[in-house]
Amino acid sequence: MTNRRATIADVARVAGVSPSTASVVFSGKTPVSDPTRQRVLDAAASLGYTGPDPRAASLRRGRSGIVAVVVGSSLNFMFLDPVQRLLMDGLAEAVAPLGAGLLLLRRDAGIDSENAPTLTTASIDAAVLIGCDRSLRETLPDVQARGIPIVVVEGDAGDDVPRIALDNREAQRRAAEHLRDLGHTRVAIVTLWQDAAGTRGWIAPDADITIDVTRDRLRGARDVFPDAPAFASAHSSIDDGFAAGRVLFADPQSRPTAVIAQSDLLATGVIRAAEEAGLRVPQDVSVTGFDGIPVDGLAPYELTTLFQPATDKGRAAGAAVAAMLEGQVPASVLLTSTFRPGNTTAPPMAP
Amino acid sequence: MTNRRATIADVARVAGVSPSTASVVFSGKTPVSDPTRQRVLDAAASLGYTGPDPRAASLRRGRSGIVAVVVGSSLNFMFLDPVQRLLMDGLAEAVAPLGAGLLLLRRDAGIDSENAPTLTTASIDAAVLIGCDRSLRETLPDVQARGIPIVVVEGDAGDDVPRIALDNREAQRRAAEHLRDLGHTRVAIVTLWQDAAGTRGWIAPDADITIDVTRDRLRGARDVFPDAPAFASAHSSIDDGFAAGRVLFADPQSRPTAVIAQSDLLATGVIRAAEEAGLRVPQDVSVTGFDGIPVDGLAPYELTTLFQPATDKGRAAGAAVAAMLEGQVPASVLLTSTFRPGNTTAPPMAP
DNA sequence: TTGTACGCGTTATCAT
DNA sequence: ATGATAACGCGTACAA
DSSP letter (8 states) at residue A299: T
Q: Measured on CA atoms in the order B139, B112, B125, B123, is the torsion positive or negative?
A: positive
The whole-number average pLDDT for the span B301-319 is 97
Torsion angles phi and psi, residue A299, rounded to 5: -45, 145
Looking at the structure, do residues A159 and A198 belong to the same domain, yes or no?
A: no
Decide if B89 and A97 are in contact by the 8 Å CB cutoff.
no
pLDDT per 10-residue tile (average), chain A, 351 residues:
74 92 90 90 92 93 94 88 95 93 86 79 95 88 92 93 97 98 98 92 92 96 97 94 97 95 97 94 97 85 97 97 91 96 93 61
A343 in any annotated domain: no
CB A248 within 8 A of CB A231: yes
Contacting residues for B331 by C-beta, under 8 A, at least 6 apart: B162
The residue segments making up the domain with residue B264 are 168-308
Amino acid B110: pLDDT: 62
Looking at the structure, do residues B249 and B146 belong to the same domain, yes or no?
A: no
The whole-number average pLDDT for the span B152-179 is 96
Q: How many CB atoms lie within 10 A of CB B114?
A: 9
Cα–Cα distances in Å, from B223 out to A112, B36, B100, B339? 43, 72, 42, 17
Looking at the structure, do residues A208 and A297 belong to the same domain, yes or no?
A: yes
Residue B192 has pLDDT above 90, yes or no: yes
Task: State the total domains in chain B.
Answer: 3
Looking at the structure, do residues B187 and B139 belong to the same domain, yes or no?
A: no
**Alpha-carbon distance B190 to B187, whole Å?**
10
Looking at the structure, do residues A268 and A236 belong to the same domain, yes or no?
A: yes
Looking at the structure, do residues A209 and A302 belong to the same domain, yes or no?
A: yes
Looking at the structure, do residues B182 and B296 belong to the same domain, yes or no?
A: yes
Residue A120, exposed/middle/buried by CB under 10 A (0-12, 13-18, 19+)? middle
Residue B205, exposed/middle/buried by CB under 10 A (0-12, 13-18, 19+)? exposed
**Alpha-carbon distance A102 to A66, whole Å?**
6
Cα–Cα distances in Å, from B60 out to A114, B28, B57? 21, 16, 5
**Alpha-carbon distance B275 to B281, whole Å?**
8
Under the banding of pLDDT at 50, 70 and 90, the label for residue B180 is: very high
Strand D contact nucleotides, protein CB < 7 Å: 1-13
Looking at the structure, do residues B179 and B231 belong to the same domain, yes or no?
A: yes
In the stretch 145-174 of chain B, residues with CB closer than 8 A to chain A read 145-147
CB A171 within 8 A of CB A339: yes
pLDDT digits (tens, 9 = 90+) for B11-20: 999 999 999 9
Looking at the structure, do residues A145 and A251 belong to the same domain, yes or no?
A: no
Residue A204, CB-side half-sphere exposure with 13 Å CA sphere: 6
B342 in any annotated domain: no
Contacting residues for A82 by C-beta, under 8 A, at least 6 apart: A264, A265, A291, A293, A294, A295, A310, B76, B80
B199 in any annotated domain: yes
The whole-number average pLDDT for the span B165-180 is 98
Residue B178, CB-side half-sphere exposure with 13 Å CA sphere: 26
**Alpha-carbon distance A12 to B238, whole Å?**
57
Q: What is the CATH number of the domain that holds A172?
A: 3.40.50.2300
Query: Is the link from the previous residue into A300 a cis peptide, with omega within 30 of 0?
Result: yes
Rounded to two decimals, the pTM is 0.92
Nucleotide nearest to B12 (CA to C1'): C3
Cα–Cα distances in Å, from B119 out to A168, A277, B145, B232, B251? 39, 53, 12, 31, 49
Torsion angles phi and psi, residue A68, rounded to 5: -80, 140
Bridge partner list, A106: A71
Looking at the structure, do residues A27 and A71 belong to the same domain, yes or no?
A: no
Query: In Å, what is the separation between the CA of A149 and the C1' of C13?
Result: 27
A2 in any annotated domain: no
Please, where are the H alpha helices in B195-263?
212-224, 238-248
Residue ranges near strand D (C-beta within 7 Å): A 16-21, 24, 30-33, 35-37, 56, 59-60, 62; B 4-5, 7-9, 19-20, 23-24, 26-27, 29, 51-53, 56-57, 59-61
B349 in any annotated domain: no
In the stretch 251-280 of chain B, residues with CB closer than 8 A to chain A read 265, 268-269, 272
B341 in any annotated domain: no
Looking at the structure, do residues A99 and A220 belong to the same domain, yes or no?
A: no
Which residues of chain A have a CB within 8 Å of the CB of B239? 294, 296-297
Looking at the structure, do residues B302 and B196 belong to the same domain, yes or no?
A: yes
Residue B112 has pLDDT above 80, yes or no: no
Torsion angles phi and psi, residue A147, rounded to 5: 80, 20
